[in-house]
Amino acid sequence: MCQDRVHQAVQGELSARMSSLREQIEDPALTPYQRLVRLFQILRSPEGCAWDRKQTHESLLPYLIEETYEVIETVETKRYADLREELGDVLTQVVFHAQIASERGEFTLDNTVSDVVTKLVNRHPHVFGEKKELDPQQVRDQWERIKTESGEKESVLGGLPRTMPALTTAFRIGEKAGGAGFDWKSATDVVEKIDEEVAELKAELRAQPMDRDRVADEIGDLLFAVASLARKLQIEPETALRKALEKFRTRFDKLEQTVRAEGKTFADFSLDELEAIWQRHKHA
């Protein structure tokens, strides 16, 4: 009986504590923003969650990347009804990192928000300074100039993380260089550059013996030129490539289904026969 009473007392204390923590989150005087900050303060506290307390900036990176890609997929597939939730998941990662920094005495989420507001005001002098009507490309170029001239970035190409996908990096490098005035005048000029790079690649492929390093260099130049063409046409190359890959995947799956439906394998067909099936599905 005594042990039962002790157990009941402990459970009652735990229940009261949990109720108190929940009340802190659900305090109607708090804004949604404040509730989210309070939530992570509790989760990281001794009364919170062991997993959350264990996390570091480094350990959270895979989750930040995953949540970011989920937002990208939601937008690309036009599942806008899901965007609300996915943006919340990204925001969760932002608040999590800010809470860790706050515990270390480095900065708070309020500091982060204040900094970005100041930065965005400074980056839009045509809105918050002398009023000017700029088109989107002029705004983009002005943005890049301000970053360099303000000393925020030591160089025009500074600030680009080396961990970004190469195709996205190619797009952004072109944007930054273009913002400094170093760019092709038109998409037609970039097409001519692509033709030039293809010719140089063909020349390397004909060389005897073929130098694989030089071929790799030429392929890199060609990909960079294609990314530049996408930029001039205001097409995000990473998105365009993912769409192309998804289209190829869908058609290849149909090709494979056709092969299997005939009780055969790919080895049982010539390349011309496979191409004929491919074209049939492509134009279906």
Q: pLDDT tens digits for 240-280?
A: 999 999 999 999 999 999 999 999 999 999 999 999 999 99
CA distance 137 to 72: 23
pLDDT-derived band at 144 (thresholds 50, 70, 90) equals confident
Written in H, E and C, the secondary structure of the chain is CHHHHHHHHHHHHHHHHHHHHHHHHCCCCCCHHHHHHHHHHHHCCCCCCHHHHHCCHHHHHHHHHHHHHHHHHHHHCCCHHHHHHHHHHHHHHHHHHHHHHHHCCCCCHHHHHHHHHHHHHHCCHHHHCCCCCCCHHHHHHHHHHHHHHCCCCCCCCCCCCCCCCHHHHHHHHHHHHHHCCCCCCCHHHHHHHHHHHHHHHHHHHHCCCCCHHHHHHHHHHHHHHHHHHHHHCCCCHHHHHHHHHHHHHHHHHHHHHHHHHCCCCHHHCCHHHHHHHHHHHHCC
Characterise 210 by phi-psi region: left (phi > 0), alpha (psi -120 to 50), beta (else).
beta
Distance, in Å, from the CA atom of 195 to the CA atom of 121, rounded to the nearest integer, reads 42
Residue-wise pLDDT tens digits, 172-203: 999 889 888 899 999 999 999 999 999 999 99
- Supply the pLDDT for residue 143: 85
Query: Cα separation of 235 and 142, whole Å?
Result: 20
Of the given ranges (15-19, 61-65, 180-184, 203-207), which has the lowest mean pLDDT? 15-19
Cα distances from 240 to residues 82, 198, 209, in angstroms, run 22, 20, 35
Residue 7 has pLDDT above 90, yes or no: no
Give the rounded distance of the alpha carbon of 278 from its chain centre.
33
State yes or no: pLDDT of 11 exceeds 70: no
Please say if the pLDDT value at position 147 is more than 60: yes
pLDDT > 90? residue 211 = yes
From 150-164, 191-205, 221-235, 258-272, the region with the lowest mean pLDDT: 150-164
Helix (H) or strand (E) holding 202: helix 187-206
User: Where residue 120 falls among pLDDT bands split at 50, 70, 90?
Assistant: very high
pLDDT at 45 exceeding the cut of 60: yes
Angle at 25 between CA 19 and CA 26, to 5 degrees: 85
Q: Is 179 exposed, middle or buried (0-12, 13-18, 19+ CB in 10 A)?
A: buried
| pLDDT value for 18 | 56
What's the pLDDT at 6? 40
Higher pLDDT, 3 or 26: 26
| Cα–Cα distance measured from residue 75 to residue 78, given in angstroms and rounded to the nearest whole number | 5
Mean pLDDT of the chain: 90
**Amino acid 110: pLDDT:** 95
Closest Cα partner for 233 from 176, 186, 179?
186
Does residue 150 surpass a pLDDT of 90? no
Verdict on whether the full-model pTM lies above 0.75: no
Instruction: Quote the tokens at residue 30.
Output: 């708090």
227 burial (CB, 10 Å; 0-12 / 13-18 / 19+) is: buried
* From 84-88, 95-99, 156-160, 208-212, the region with the lowest mean pLDDT: 156-160
Give me the mean pLDDT over the 44-73 stretch. 94
